[in-house]
Structure 1
């Protein structure tokens, strides 16, 4: 079974939360003065990793809210196309640039809780049956649960490795 397939909404919720907790713990001990320090082996700084997550969690929930309210939803975002993700990521980084690392972690904690609450309100059919929302695409596209996985559980897991590599390369940043 692929990692993005879940047997229930509860399994999806539990997986996301467990991976969020593991990711958040990776930031323990990183001194805030190094939040924007980049190393060659990792494509994002610690602050950019969190800003990226904040941006994507917000976007996906906005797609759903826009559809439910009958508004036009823009994918991936207003003024961005799928082949312009670099610019979209830069907009995330700019939006959260002034926050400290503890501040970013607090925002991500709040965003993850909103994310879980949003998923908790969805019916199993909405999550697992393709086409329950227009924004998930046609039947050849992904069910909502896969979009949710790809924008939370998957990067929560992959970013842990990036932060570990960053900390290993830059031990002076550890408080």
Structure 2
């Protein structure tokens, strides 16, 4: 699917990419989800399927936080307080740690809840606000949401499918 250029395309991109990812995540036995066998988000690291879901949750929570702060006319530390854009590997490690004690089923529930919250925000936001004005530097709100939802969902699905293929051999 092409990069979303409007509200309807963004909704479709999030719904479609999440549905495909969820289908793959739902078929993984819980006992395999803590094994660190996937390439991590920081160079030279490995992560588990649970870590990958924690990563997606972490970014979803940031999108929700950015939205809330912007709505309240508060200053937003992009990407996250204490982290710069060139430290995303460290931020990924933080997300893994934040959710390391959660059961896989809890992670999946939390991710789904956040996906639905983000979809509600998109649905309630005018296309003009999503795609016709800058929201963070030169980026629109729609682009920032897409960067942290549908795009990483596609990436995560590719990682999971590659891992599942290796596990089945």
**The two structures share one fold, judged by TM-score above 0.5:** yes
Residue 23 (structure 1) aligns with:
21
Deviations, residues 111-139 of structure 1 (Å, cap 9, x unaligned)? 111010111111111111132x3xx21xx
Distance in 2 (alpha carbons) for counterparts of 1:4 and 1:79? 30
Cα deviation, residue 61, structure 1: 2.0
Distance in 1 (alpha carbons) for counterparts of 2:168 and 2:104? 17
Query: 144-153 or 30-39: which moved more?
Result: 30-39
Question: Given the two structures, how large is their TM-score scaled by the length of structure 1?
Answer: 0.85
Residue 151 (structure 1) aligns with:
148
Q: Any gaps of 5 or more consecutive residues in structure 1? A: none
The structure where strand makes up a greater share of residues is: 2
**Aligned with residue 51 of structure 1, among 31, 54, 57:** 54
Say how many residue pairs are matched: 163
Question: What are the within-5 Å matches in structure 2 for residues 117-128 of structure 1?
Answer: 117-128=120-131
Residue 93 (structure 1) aligns with:
96
Cα deviation, residue 91, structure 1: 1.3
Moved over 3 A (4+): none
Q: Any gaps of 5 or more consecutive residues in structure 2? A: 41-46
Distance in 2 (alpha carbons) for counterparts of 1:62 and 1:75? 10
Residue 76 (structure 2) aligns with:
73
SS at match of 1:170: helix
Confirm or deny: 8 A CA contact 1:4 1:150 kept in the other structure: no
**Aligned with residue 83 of structure 1, among 81, 86, 103:** 86
Distance in 1 (alpha carbons) for counterparts of 2:127 and 2:26? 35
